[in-house]
Amino acid sequence: MTAFLVRRLAFACVTLFAVLTLVFVLVRIVPGDPAQLILGDQASREAIVALQHRLGLDLPLAQQYTVFLTGALRGDWGVSMVSGQPVIGEVLRVLPWTIELTLVSLVLGILLGVPAGVYAAIHRNRLIDYAVRISSLFGLSFPPFVAAIILLLLFAIALPWFPVISARSGSLMAWYQSITLPAVSLGLISAAYVTRVTRSAMLEVLSEDYVRTARAKGVPWNAVIWRHALRNALIPIITVVGLYLGILIGNSVLTEIVFSRPGLGKLLIGALNQRDYPMLQGMMVIYTLIVVLVNLLTDLAYGFVDPRVKLK
Amino acid sequence: MKKVALAILSIALVSAPLAYAQKKSLVVGMGSADAGKLDPHIASTTPDKGLLSWMFNGLVRIRPGKISPEFIEPDLAESWTSNPAGTEWTFKLRRGVQCHHGYGEFTAEDAVYSIKRASNKATSSYSNDFSAVDKVEAPDKYTVKITLKNPVAGFLGYVANVNGGNQICKKAAEEMGENFAKKPIGTGPFMFSEYQPQQFVKLVANKQYFRGAPALEDITYRYIPADSSRDLAFQSGELDMIYGKQDQTWVDRTAKLPGVKVAAIEPAELSELYLNITVKPLDDIRVRQAIAYAIDRKAIVAFKGAGTSREAVSVIPSGYLGTDQKAPLFPYDLAKSKALLAEAGYPNGVTIKTIHTTLTGMQTLIEAVQAQLKKAGINLDIELVEHATFHAQIRKDLSPLVHYQAGRFPVADVYLTQFFDSNSIIGKPTAVTNFSHCNVADDEIRAARVSTDPAKQLALWKTAQEKIAKAVCGVPIYEQLQLWAWKDSLDLGYELSGSLNLSPPITEKTHFTK
């Protein structure tokens, strides 16, 4: 177990380094001058050059890279070119919003998706199965921002139950009001994913010998489904949920914008528009760390649900 | 049943006074993802400038709701005088004006510090505006003396409540240094209170404001980048005032909402094509003329919406001090356009490249222009790039034809200098936005800048515009007004026709009528 963790951590470091380098190069290849964008279009060339110098953008690329890497190793991700604030601070300030939204919608997805998938599998090729499969396909192919606007029109305008600006905090009620629509909008998509995987995994398990045995010896049908079959179908579901968590964080970009919530997505768009190099670099590190961490947790979860899986 | 009825009644009674109490909090929705740098000497975007304008004053100000320098009136300075040459300006400050959050009285020392800071290219985006400033001094606590190297056209505009003219408090700026943008300190009707990243900036009333305590208690300035979300939040009543999506369909839709006022305000941004007169085939004036003749400005305005746009009148925006409202622009004439093209050696048409932004409003315009030019046999090859890339590439001379949309301080000199003076040509150290490499009116632009005779100055500006139009450095197309909407229960306290800070001024008089 320890050896496994050490190996995974070493691997994560390599991944991180590769991502850092890639991001460093990519953001600089893209045309666009941060100094010009900060000063606006009435600034003279001289003023722009002066700012480039202050931001260190006039240094040779190799030197900028060394500065960046040594800083990164010391845990210093630099300061945002736009706001002048430390990158890490800016990211950490909005990160909880994104994590909250992602987790709530994932839980929603699992709570809706797993029972729907199991139900569809049991009633294979019956009307209910078709209904579940079609609606999950619909959920997968529906663009998240369209769903978000429809939700707002229905539940914030036609029926004024929720606010359009979903960024309230303070009381539990305020939290509930501001998380519901965004979480539902994202949760429906993850539910669609989970439903489909659960259904196919369950179908496979249900045709196994031990399920027939369990039924033959008189185990109640419910127990067969939920205790024996689902337990064995969990591995692919966990894999998909783990993979999907990464996608979900990406999808949250649009959701955050439509529902006017703070979060990594908005930060990323702003940093891209302004060519805020340190901010982009810092954010990519955070994204990479999240994905690496989620993958690690997924691996650990395998061992937890299936003792036969040994982590070496 | 009785109990329920009683409960409902008591709730109704308790909440009734609340419902009828006058609203004192204003919530504004702005179309951007977050605040930029909240420093009035650096801020250059619509979202930042508007917000800052509610917190700061100039030595003088343009009357709220107006944009023309003819409406200049006292602000922090009660009165001012200048020598006949226009090179020495003396301002007498109002006494007892207090800086926000207890930073003490605003005195001549603050004004001197502020103007020096705005002139310094390390601390200001507007240092160019103050290049003629020689000395700024404070002979006594309430007197500011500015000495110029040469007279400057419309100098008062540079010490007005816009851009580098905004006055900041010295003690606060020195104490906070780089952090000043996190808690900007001025003297205006509202003061900075709170910033929540990506959510809002909150301002509270400055009860000590020298024109009297504001009627509103606070302003929440919310960052809502998605146009549709902003509209929905306005519709649901969560926002009292919003920055509009800049097109006619938005106006038509929003104006239909009950209890809503929609306004298209000055200054308009001028949409103009700048033709690089040094590269083939645009170095041939006949090709440039062909382009000018092929543009049907009337059709463009019909396409963009008559309520929010209007035809361009000159190579600089209309209504500025010095704009020739009847500049000799080329009329729409396809036959002439085709003839000129054939004469220039392109009887079968010509292809011209442009690098263009994906910004929606600008993109629809260039596509309309492309369709119009096509009729004359001019094939406009549009390379669409994202906005920041566009800004970078056009400043490297990569786009022979540049479509740019801009408004400037409403004195002809500013626009003429930035877009048509040869010192501003792209690539030079003094470069600003002369994309056309125009150099035909340098003498007039420079002479007008230092002229002390208003009549002569106007004549010089007029000649400059004629020369530029004739040389077809630029083909002006149309002007786009700024769109805003607010609840009609909000009384701004003045007649709004425009704002140089691009947002409706929120003053001490702004209040809700219910």
pLDDT in tens, B299-327: 999 998 888 899 999 999 998 889 999 99
Q: What is the mean pLDDT of residues A168-192?
A: 86
Asked if the C-beta of A199 comes within 8 angstroms of chain B's C-beta atoms, the answer is no
Residues whose CB falls within 8 Å of the CB of residue B34, separated by 6 or more in sequence, listed in order: A266, A267, A270, B197, B198, B223
Q: What is the residue-averaged pLDDT of chain A?
A: 85
Which of B41, B121, B198, B424 has the highest number of chain A CBs within 10 A, making it the mutation to test binding with A?
B198
Answer whether A116's CB lies under 8 Å from A137's CB.
Answer: no
Residue A65 has pLDDT above 80, yes or no: yes
Nearest to B125 among A47, A157, A269 (CB): A47
Mean pLDDT of all residues in B60-78: 93
- Percent of chain B clearing pLDDT 70 (strictly above): 96
Distance from CA of A272 to the nearest CA of B (A): 9
Q: What is the ipTM of this complex?
A: 0.82
Does the CB of A88 have a partner CB in chain B at under 8 Å? no
Give A301's pLDDT tier (boundaries 50, 70, 90): confident
Per the rule left: phi > 0, alpha: psi between -120 and 50, beta: everything else, B163 is: left
Task: Work out the minimum CA distance from A271 to partner chain B, whole angstroms.
Answer: 10
DSSP tag of B75: S
Nearest-by-CA chain A residue for B233? A164
Cβ contact B199–A46 (<8 Å): no
Which DSSP state fits A312? -
Residue B52: what are its φ and ψ, rounded to 5°?
A: -65, -30
Higher pLDDT, B89 or B7: B89
Question: Hey, are the CB atoms on B33 and A164 less than 8 Å from each other?
Answer: no
Is A260's CB within 8 Å of B33's CB?
no
Q: Name residue B356's beta-bridge partners.
A: B384
d(CA B370, CA B364): 10
Q: Which of A94, A157, A258 sits opposite B197 (nearest CB)?
A: A94
pLDDT-based confidence at residue A310 (cuts at 50, 70, 90): low
Backbone angles phi, psi at A237, to 5 degrees: -65, -45
Task: Give the model confidence (pLDDT) of B232-259 as tens digits.
Answer: 999 999 999 999 987 888 999 999 999 9
Q: How confident is the model at residue A53 (pLDDT cuts 50, 70, 90)?
A: confident
A36–B121 C-beta distance less than 8 A: no
- Residues from chain B that touch A259, judged by Cβ atoms under 8 A, are 229
Query: Which of A45, A53, A252 is best to mutate for the B interface (most B CBs within 10 A)?
Result: A45
Q: Do B406 and A41 touch (CB under 8 A)?
A: yes
CA–CA separation, A40 and B43 (whole Å)? 8
Mind listing the pLDDT tens digit for each residue in B403-441? 999 988 888 999 999 999 999 999 898 899 999 999 999
Chain B closest-CA separation from residue A49 CA (Å): 9
Average pLDDT over residues A216-221: 87
Predicted confidence (pLDDT) per residue in B362-395, tens digit: 999 999 999 999 999 999 999 999 888 999 999 9
* A-B contacts at Cβ under 8 angstroms: 148
pLDDT score, position B9: 43
Over the stretch B150-163, which tens digit does the pLDDT of each residue have?
Answer: 888 788 999 999 99
Tokens of residue A239, six digits: 């894999």
Q: Where are the alpha helices (H) located in B236-344, listed in sequence order?
A: 248-255, 285-294, 297-304, 334-343
Can you tell me the distance from the alpha carbon of A138 to that of A116, in angstroms, rounded to the nearest whole number? 14
A153 neighbourhood in chain B, CB within 8 Å? 232
Distance CA B94, CA A114 (A): 71
Contact A47 B127 (CB under 8 A): yes
Which of these, B381, B465, B387, lies nearest to B420 by C-alpha position? B465
- Look at B389 and A43 and tell me if their CB atoms are within 8 Å: no
- Do B391 and A41 count as a contact with CB atoms less than 8 A apart? yes
Residues of chain A with C-beta less than 8 angstroms from the C-beta of B239? 165
Q: What is the pLDDT of residue A117?
A: 92
Q: Which residues of A touch B181 (CB under 8 A)?
A: 83-84
B44 and A46 in contact by Cβ < 8 A? no
Is A152 in contact with B44 (Cβ distance < 8 A)? no
Q: Do A33 and B392 touch (CB under 8 A)?
A: yes
- What residues of chain B, 4 to 63, have a C-beta less than 8 Å from chain A? 33-37, 42, 44-45
Mean pLDDT (whole number) for A126-149: 86
Q: Residue B67 and residue A61: Cα distance in Å, rounded?
A: 45
* A300 vs B98, more confident: B98
Q: Can you tell me the distance from the alpha carbon of B83 to that of B92, in angstroms, rounded to the nearest whole number?
A: 15
State how far residue A213 is from chain B, nearest Cα, in angstroms. 56
The mean pLDDT value of chain B amounts to 91
Tell whether B162 lies on the interface with A, counting CB pairs under 8 A.
Answer: no
- Quote the pLDDT of residue B101: 94
pLDDT digits (tens, 9 = 90+) for B1-26: 445 444 444 444 444 444 456 789 99
Q: Which of B36, B127, B393 sits opposite A31 (nearest CB)?
A: B393
pLDDT of residue B55: 96
| B-proximal residues of A, 163-182, CB under 8 Å | 163-165, 167
Helices and strands per DSSP (H, E), number in chain B: 14, 19
Whether chain A has a CB inside 8 Å of the CB on B228: the answer is yes
Q: Is B388 on the interface with A (CB under 8 A)?
A: yes
| B29/B26 Cα distance (integer angstroms) | 10
Q: Chain B 448-487, CB below 8 Å of chain A: which residues?
A: none
Query: Does residue B298 belong to the interface with chain A, where contact is any CB pair within 8 Å?
Result: no
Residues 90-109 of A with CB under 8 A from B: 90, 93-94
pTM above 0.95, yes or no: no
Q: Does residue B318 sit at the A interface (CB-CB below 8 Å)?
A: no
Contacts of residue B422, defined as CB under 8 A and 6 or more positions apart, other chains included, come to B434, B437, B438, B439, B442
**Which of residues A44 and B323 earns the better pLDDT score?**
B323
State the best of B229, B390, B402, B424 to mutate against chain A, taking most chain A CBs within 10 Å: B229
Q: Which position has the token pair 């009644």?
A: B9
- Residue in A closest to B392 by C-alpha: A32
DSSP secondary structure letter of residue B511: E
Residue in the block written with tokens 């998909």: A240
| Contact between chains at A83 and B121 (C-beta distance less than 8 A) | no
Residue A311's pLDDT is what?
A: 60
**CB neighbourhood size of A159 (10 A):** 9
Residues of chain A neighbouring B36 (CB-CB closer than 8 A): 82-83
Q: Does A42 sit within 8 Å of B432, measured CB to CB?
A: yes
Please name the member of B45, B224, B430 whose beta carbon is closest to the beta carbon of A260: B224
* Of A32, A37, A266, Cβ closest to residue B34: A266
Is B128 close to A36, i.e. CB distance below 8 A? no
B128, B199, B228 ranked by CB distance to A167: nearest: B199
Structure tokens at B444: 């007039």
Q: According to the model, what pLDDT value does residue B430 have?
A: 87
Q: What is the DSSP string of B276-300?
A: -TTSTTTTSHHHHHHHHHH--HHHH
Does residue B383 sit at the A interface (CB-CB below 8 Å)? no
Please name which of B360, B51, B37, B29 lies closest in space to residue B224, comparing C-alpha atoms: B29
Q: In chain B, which residues have their Cβ closer than 8 Å to the Cβ of A157? A: 232, 235-236
Which among A36, A266, A267 is the nearest to B391, CB-wise?
A: A36
Q: Please classify residue A88 by burial: count the beta carbons closer than 10 Å to its beta carbon, then call 0-12 exposed, 13-18 middle and 19+ buried.
A: middle
The SS3 of residue B174 is helix
